[in-house]
Structures are given as structure tokens and as C-alpha cells.
Amino acid sequence: MLTEILLWSNILLCPLVGVILLLRRSYLVSTLFIVAALFLFSGLSFIDLRSLQQPEQIFFWRKFGLFFEVFAILSCYFYTKTAFRDNSEIYKGTGFWISVILAFSLVLTVIFSPIDSLLFSPDFVDEHILFLTKQGFVIYLLLMIYLVFGLVQLERTLAGLHQTQRWGVKVIVLSSGLLLVSFALYFSQSLLYRSINMNYLSIRSVAVFSACLMFAYSQLYRESGSKLALSRGIAHRSFVLLIVGGYLILLGVVGEGLRYLNLSNAKQIFTGLLLVSILGLAVVFLSERLRRKLKVILHKNFYQSKYDYQEQWKKFAERMTSGLALSDIQSAILDLFCESLACKGAALYLYDYESKTYAYASSFNSRRDWRPFSADDPLIVSLKQKEWIINLRENHPEFVNSLIESFDDIGAFLVIPLFFDEDLAGFIVLGEQIDADEILTYEDYDLLRMLARQTIATVQGLRLSEQLTTSRELAAIGKVSTFVLHDLKNQVSGLSLMLDNARDYIDDPEFQEDMIETVGNTVKNMKGLIGRLKNIKEKPSLVIASVQLNKIIEDAVETAGTDIDIDGTAVRVAVDEEEIYKVILNLLVNALEATTDAAPVRVHYGKKNDLAFVQISDSGCGMSAEFIEEKLFKPFATTKKHGFGIGLYQCQQIIESHCGTIEVESLEGEGTKFTLFLPLAAEQGQ
């Protein structure tokens, strides 16, 4: 009684849900297939109901029932084949036509075969079990294969959809899977016991009823217009599952056949076939050429785009972070090119701006060829003119006497140009393909162009970064050299003045003592300069001590020369004597060089507002207010004809490191006055 109620629910609900699907006005091929399947399930439920009510006419009803079963299962299979996909080129797949031809053969067999040649039932009235003949067993075996393939298609569909799409269609996918699983369980008796047990109709009816409700819910409350975005990984995995499943089924058929033949050594034969089959599978899955052919087959039969560009971009980004050095990244990029087209090796050539040739830069599983391509090499000329990817397997008479001819020994077959700002910045030579029979399509060339654009942008960016780093290092060296030269100039100025005076006073003992002291101070300063060069820092490392300010001034005046007037009040300061000596000496030399009328340079020092000060003034050429405001104390800015423009910048750095200040007053044509403010020693600051 319960089974009859469930069958009646299927008879009424299935066509109702089919009508709901049609009213949605979504007349896709997949929709028509599932609607047809629902109406067929309704008709099959009616036939099963009549078979139970009229067991004496079981063969009459089963003739129609088998017909409805075959068409319902085929409709479900082709629904899973077309749902959520772009079916514009589905007819191009070999697998599609095999399934169509097999389906027609199955339908014709059911139509033209007598029902008693397919099944029999000696006691159906009591047992409700139908037994299958060999021909009937084959029919249900084929139906089971369609069900299994349909479930694989549904698994691939659900796994291949994006997470946001999966929410809208997962109910439909699950309901479709429920239909297929329910019939697979119902038909499982046919494979295990070569029979159909109609006592399980109640279980199948519950599954069909639940699936119909899920279909109706999904159509009324959820969107279902998503299209499958099949990833390559999912396709490969599903294809491997099919191969393994087919392999196991084949072993089962062979084992059944050997048992049927009742051979005495059947176990040994089966074991041998098992080992041979395992070896064959290992050869298939370990062969890179066969794996490449598998990808091509999947491309032709499962999806339109040959490459998953999201996956390719992910791989490219991973290669970019694979190494810190430019050479490591270049090798990783070549590895990606080889992986994409299954090549055995590759080499990268980049333009050398110094030699104006295309020189070897990197290689991956390829020989190192240090010979550069000249700018007038036929290959380079062709790449610049056509901007095409060149297939060396084609005939290229224009490449006679080109260096590329020497690459025949590595099987080079593709040359990919790398353009940067419309200039040929380099090119990649791809070696022999693992599958030499593979024919490249426009998708392969599109992928290579995409990778080439990203490659040259990355490589050029890294090359420019290295050049910038080198330039900065050279600039740093130049900056240090400028500071050193400036200090040397100050020391040489003192020695030069001493040498000029030596011509007149060399016999004077007092002058000789001063000369020896001056030379000694110069040597001391030079040694200090050498010591600082060993540990260069932006700001000087100070050795603060309490020292008489007038002593520092007198040492600087003695080095700078005569024509300097000094007056002031003795005061002790907390400074680095050597550094302040350099500042005062620099200002004195500048003042002497700026004074052309033999007027003396004046130095005044003392204490003011809890600070010590040193004032150095001259009556020289002076500076403009604009120069003082915008350029004074800036590195490499000077009014001297042969100056470095670094002295005052260095003076300011030293004074500020002492927590002091430096002030300037100047008028063009009248002179300049620099004032240094320095901290007092502790006993005087209290």
C-alpha cells in the first residue's frame, strides 16, 4: 500500500515540476532534457504501479517500462552533460558522439528485442523479482555506466563552479545526483544478482519525490543561470577517476570471463593481466608526452579555453618571488615557459646597451651559448619587422647565415620576441617539445604573448632597479669623494701658504718651528681623515671635551695663513676639538678666498646668552639674498668658480651635531659675516 502511494506521488509531482520548469521560460537544452526526464519518471512510475496491480500482465507492462527507463536515464545523462555549460561546441567532442551512438543502439535494442529475450520471472506474483538474460544484463550494465558517468559530470560541475555560483545551483545539482543515485541503487541488483527487485520501488520513489521537491524549490527561490567555470585540475582529476574506474570495471569483466570459462590456471592468468595492467597505467601516467596528449584531449572535449589564465598568472607570480637575484627569476620564468608548452629547455637573450647586441642572459635545461646575436642578424631583423612569434619548424630561407641555425642541435622550434616600449628588448628560444606531434593553436600563441609581455616588464624593471642601485652607489662614492677632496683642499691651502712664505723666511728659526708644527698638524688631520673614511657615517661621531675656544681658533688661523685679525674673550666650550677646528678652518679659507683687496679677515669670539660664539667676517664679494635663502648650506651649491659646494653643508652638519647654530649675514660687494654658536663647558654654563 505504501509503495502504491509513493508511486502515485511520483506520477503527479514529476509532471508538475516539469511544468514549473517550462514556465520559467528558460528553454535551454539542459532544461528540456530534465523536463523530459521528469515526464518519463512519471510515466515509469505509472507503469510500475500497473505492474504491481496486474502481475499477470507483467511482460506487457515491462516492455513499456524498459523503454521509459532507458529514455529517462539517457535524458538525465545528457542533462548532466549540458547543464551550466556553453554547449556551442559540445558536438565537436569524440566522447559526446560515442555516447550518442551508444544511446541510439540501446534504444533500438529495447524497441526491436522481444521482452522475453531480455528478462523472465517464474514467480513474479509472489516475489516481485525480474531476472535478466545475458542481453538484458548488457542493457542494464550500459544504463549503469550512463548513471556513473552522469554522477561524475555532476561532481565536476559542482566542484568547477565558483563559490558564489555554487550557492545558486547546488540544490539542482544535488537533486539531479539524488535521481541518478536512486536508480543506480535500484539497478545494482542487475549487476550483482542479474535481477531487478521491484520491492525496492518504495526507496526509489522516495528519492524521486525528494528530488522533485528540491528542483521546484531551486527554480522558485534560487538563481540557476550560472555557467560552469571548469578548472583544469578538476577536469584532470575527473578524467583520471574515469580511467581508474574503467580499469577496475575491465578487470572485473576479465575476471568474470575467466571464471565463466572455468580455466584451470585462471588465477595465474588474472594475476599476470593485473601486473601488466598496472605496468601499463604506470607508463601512461609517468609519460610526459602522454600527459600532454591527455591535456589536448581534455581541451577538445571538456572546455573551450585550453589554458586556465588565472592559474597561469598565479604560477607566474610564484616564479617572480622564487628568487632574490635577477638570474634566479629569469631561470624561473624560462621554467614556466617550458612547463606551459611542455618543452625540454629554453634560453633568454637580452639587449646589451654597451655592445649593442643581443647577449645570452639565462637558460633552463639548455646549453649556454655565449655568442651574441648582432643587431643585423637575420633573426633579429625579422623579429623587429614582423613582431611575430617565429616557429622554426616552418621553412625560413631568410634565416640563412643567422646564428639561430646553430640551435638545431637542441631542437629549437619557437622564438618569442620580448618588446618593451615598442623596442625589441630581447627574445626567448624554446627547445624541443616533449610531444613533437602536438600542433600549436592560436591559444598557445596568445598564452606565449601574455607571458612574454609580463616577462619583459618584470625583467626590465629588475634590470633598471639594478642600474639604479649601481647609480646610487656611484653617487654615494662621489659624495664621499667630494667631502674628502674638500678636506684635502683645506689642508693643501695651509701647506700652499706655508710654501709661499718659505721662500722668504726659510732661514728664520721661528718660521722653521712654525713650519714643522704646521706640517705635523696637517699629517695629524690627514690621518684623522683616513680613519673617518674607514667608518663613514652621515653625521660625524663626536668626542666631546672641555677645551679653550681661542686654542681651536689659533690652530685654524695658523693653518689658514696670515692676514687674519683675532680678538675676543677666553671661554671654554664643550665640543669635539677636531670637528670645530675643521669648521673654523673652512670658514677662514672661504673668507680669504673671497677677499681680493688684501683686507684682513677678522675673527671675534666670546660669550653671549649662555653660549659661546665665533664670528668670522670679511669684506669680500659677498652673497645675494636669493642664494642665501635657496642654496646656502645645500650640498654642491657654490659661488666659487672651482668650488665643490660641500664645505658649508659639512659645517652645518657639524655645528648641528653639537646642538649649536650657524648664522650668516652678507651683502653682495660688501662682505660676509658667519657666526657660530656653541655650547659652553659645564663649569661655565652654571
Looking at domain 537-685, does it have CATH number 1.10.10.410? no
pLDDT digits (tens, 9 = 90+) for 333-379: 888 888 877 788 889 898 888 888 998 888 888 877 788 999 889 89
- Cα 572 to chain centroid, rounded: 65
Q: In angstroms, rounded to a whole number, what is the distance separating the alpha carbons of residues 62 and 452?
A: 64
324: three-class secondary structure by DSSP: coil
Q: Please, are residues 639 and 652 in contact by the beta-carbon 8 Å criterion?
A: no
Q: In angstroms, rounded to a whole number, what is the distance separating the alpha carbons of residues 120 and 136?
A: 10
420: three-class secondary structure by DSSP: strand
Q: In Å, how far are 372, 457, 587 from 314, measured between CA atoms?
A: 33, 16, 62
The tally of CA atoms less than 13 A away on the side-chain side of residue 483 is 22
Instruction: Provide the residue type at 4 as one letter.
Output: E
| CATH architecture of the domain covering 2-229 | Up-down Bundle (1.20)
439 DSSP assignment: P
Q: In Å, how far are 106, 257, 526, 537, 677 from 531, measured between CA atoms?
A: 97, 94, 9, 12, 27
Looking at domain 309-468, does it have CATH number 3.40.50.20? no
Give me the pLDDT at residue 679, please.
92
pLDDT digits (tens, 9 = 90+) for 259-277: 666 655 656 665 666 667 6
Q: Identify the H or E element spanning 548.
A: strand 545-548
- Cα 512 to chain centroid, rounded: 75
Cell of 361: 642572459
- Cα 370 to chain centroid, rounded: 30
| Nearest alpha-carbon partner for 591 in 604, 574, 579 | 604
From the CB of residue 521, how many other CB atoms can be counted at a distance below 10 Å?
17
Instruction: Provide the residue type at 540 as one letter.
Output: P
Give the dihedral sign, CA 170/175/178/183.
Answer: negative
pLDDT digits (tens, 9 = 90+) for 584-628: 988 888 888 888 776 788 999 999 888 999 999 988 888 888 888
Question: What residues have CB less than 8 Å from 351, skipping those under 6 apart?
Answer: 357, 358, 359, 423, 424, 425, 426
Give me the pLDDT at residue 425, please.
87
Q: Please, are residues 205 and 3 in contact by the beta-carbon 8 Å criterion?
A: yes
Cell of 364: 633552463
Q: Identify the H or E element spanning 560.
A: helix 549-560
369: three-class secondary structure by DSSP: coil
- Cα 156 to chain centroid, rounded: 26
413: three-class secondary structure by DSSP: coil
Strands 601-608 vs 564-568: parallel, antiparallel or unpaired: parallel
Q: In angstroms, rounded to a whole number, what is the distance separating the alpha carbons of residues 280 and 278?
A: 5
Question: What residues have CB less than 8 Å from 92, skipping those under 6 apart?
Answer: 300
pLDDT digits (tens, 9 = 90+) for 489-499: 777 777 777 77
Residue segments in the chain with a per-residue pLDDT below the cut of 70: 24-27, 85-93, 159-168, 189-191, 221-275, 277-313, 319-324, 466-467, 469-487, 528-541, 561-562, 598, 635-646, 683-686
pLDDT digits (tens, 9 = 90+) for 649-679: 778 888 888 889 999 998 888 889 999 999 9
Cα first-last separation, the chain = 114
Q: In angstroms, rounded to a whole number, what is the distance separating the alpha carbons of residues 138 and 575?
A: 105
Give me the pLDDT at residue 589, please.
85
Q: Please, are residues 357 and 374 in contact by the beta-carbon 8 Å criterion?
A: yes
